[in-house]
Amino acid sequence: MRKSRFTEAQIIGMIKEQEAGMPTAELCRRHGLSPSTFYKLKAKYGGMEVSEAARLKALEDENTKLKRLLADTMLDNVVLKDLFGKELTTLTKRREAALRAMRDHDISQRRACRLVGVDPKTVRRERPPDCPEIRKEMQEIAGKRRRFGYRRIGVLLERKGMIMNHKKLYRLYREEGLSVKRRRGRKRARGTRTPMPEAARPNARWSLDFLSDSFGASRKFRILAVIDDCCRENLCLMADTSISGARVARELDALVRVYGKPGCIVSDNGTEFTSRAILKWADQNDVPWHYIDPGKPQQNAFIESFNGSLRDELLNEEIFDTLNDARRKLALWRYDYNAVRPHSSLGNQTPLQARRALEQFEGSAPGALAQTETHDYQDQTRRLSL
């Protein structure tokens, strides 16, 4: 109902005048309203006092307010039901949800932000980006020069006639997501950049890696494993509670005296293999050292396959009482792996048989090395079993 231009007191006064005997036509002419309007007001306020009319007005206002609140609550429920099932875990997702609610339900920005739980200052209605030519040129420059910041990109834009102040340049730079990412983490040794040689003959390529296990009351120890990628021979299984880069260098010196210098060594980026001691050893012995990419053990597949066999056949099967007990069992398993265990990748030959066959085929002088090594294994096994 349209709001009346008369107050409750005026309406009640007119009704009392009419009840006192004033003709209705004269009353309507005096107050400037039609008879139908007067009778409508009389039907609503007839028999009331001013206080009762004010109370009725207050009740009507309150009822109108409650109806509005009920409608708003029902609309809020509809909006939240449309957002049900969508994860709003990040600020970006909450912004998108607020914009979607504003678009689909035609509600205000403040109301949508209150429902989603995001600050209205961070939500703006979508609008087309300004300066599309400059943005496109910035994208092309940043694609070619990824380490350039917005200042140097601005210099290159000025050379092409696109001049702007630094605040606008920085705004466009941030909106396009061209910020230079900081390189975190330690600086890793890169090793040689020459192609990795193929393991076509013994000593062409060695692979190194570490394993870990425990003995006694959960005392941890580590195992340094070295294999020849060509004949799959295990050259070293050295166990200790702590193995540093200098210790690895000493073990490599011992292996070089027995087997000769390798053509290449492959390992991961562990701290022992990237230490100064290893870098110095590789430089002094003129041995190329290749580091695989972080998080890609498949690039060193030979040593990973060997690690799986060692863990499956020994480490997961045996319980070690002491460190010496672990070293003894590792030596026994190494002999069995090299001299007894058949390898399907070698045509069911043992690594020693494969090394001997390759050396005889090449007519190399160190052909007796494998036989000598076999006797060494047998002597070592005999001593450890006593």
What are 122-131's pLDDT values in tens digits? 776 556 778 8
386 pLDDT exceeds 70? Answer: no
pLDDT band of 378, cuts 50, 70, 90: very low
| pLDDT of the residue at 327 | 94
What pLDDT sits at residue 375?
Answer: 45
351 Cβ contact list (under 8 Å, min separation 6): 228, 231, 232, 233, 234, 337, 338, 339, 343
Following CA atoms 124, 128, 129, 135 in sequence, which dihedral angle do they give, to the nearest 10 degrees? 150
Interval 269-291 mean pLDDT? 90
The secondary structure of residue 284, as a DSSP letter, is: H
pLDDT of residue 238: 93
Category of 152 on φ-ψ map: left (φ > 0), alpha (ψ -120 to 50) or beta: alpha
Enumerate residues 6+ apart whose C-beta is below 8 A from 45: 8, 11, 12, 15, 53, 56
Q: Are 162 and 134 in contact (CB under 8 A)?
A: yes
Say if residue 5's pLDDT is above 70: yes
CA distance 83 to 71: 19
CA distance 333 to 336: 5
**8 Å CB contact between 228 and 206:** yes
Structure tokens, 355: 């090394």
The per-residue pLDDT for range 177-191, each reduced to its tens digit, is 888 777 665 555 555
DSSP readout, 160-201?
A: TT----HHHHHHHHHHTT-PPPP--SPPPP-B--SPPPP--S
Beta pairing partners, 211: 223
Residue 25 confidence (pLDDT): 82
Helix (H) or strand (E) run with residue 375 in it = helix 369-385
Average pLDDT along the chain: 81
- Is residue 192's pLDDT more than 60? no
How confident is the model over 194-222, as pLDDT tens digits?
A: 567 788 888 899 999 999 999 988 899 99
Collapsing DSSP states into helix, strand and coil, what is residue 239? strand
Name the more confident of 251 and 25.
Answer: 251
What is residue 314's DSSP assignment? I
- Tokens read off for 133: 């030519």
Query: What residue type is 157 in one-letter code?
Result: L
**What was the pLDDT predicted at 385?**
43
CA 264/CA 229 separation, integer angstroms: 10
**In the predicted model, is pLDDT for residue 363 greater than 70?**
no
Residue 369 has pLDDT above 50, yes or no: no
pLDDT at 170 over 90: yes
91 vs 233, residue with greater confidence: 233
Longest dimension (CA), the chain: 142
CA distance 272 to 264: 17
What pLDDT sits at residue 239? Answer: 93
pTM over 0.75: no
pLDDT above 90 as % of the chain: 33
CA 310 to each of CA 124, 234, 241, 247, 337: distance values in angstroms, whole numbers, following the listed order? 60, 11, 18, 22, 9
Share of the chain above pLDDT 70, in %: 83
Q: How confident is the model at residue 262 (pLDDT cuts 50, 70, 90)?
A: very high
pLDDT above 70 (res 118): yes
Distance separating alpha carbons of residues 45 and 293, to the nearest angstrom: 89
Confidence (pLDDT) at 246: 92
Which of 32-46, 89-103, 203-217, 355-369 is modeled with the greatest confidence?
A: 203-217
Q: Residue 333 above 90 pLDDT? A: yes
**Window from 90-94, 204-208, 301-305, 361-365 with minimum mean pLDDT:** 361-365
Query: What is the pLDDT, as a whole number, of residue 126?
Result: 59
Confidence of residue 374 (pLDDT cuts 50, 70, 90): very low
pLDDT digits (tens, 9 = 90+) for 47-76: 666 666 667 667 777 777 777 777 677 767
Q: What pLDDT is recorded for position 52?
A: 66
Residue 364: pLDDT band (50, 70, 90) is very low
**Length of the chain as a residue count:** 386
- The span from the CA of 344 to the CA of 354, in Å, is 12
- Please return the burial class of 225, using the count of CB atoms within 10 Å of its CB with bins 0-12, 13-18 and 19+: buried
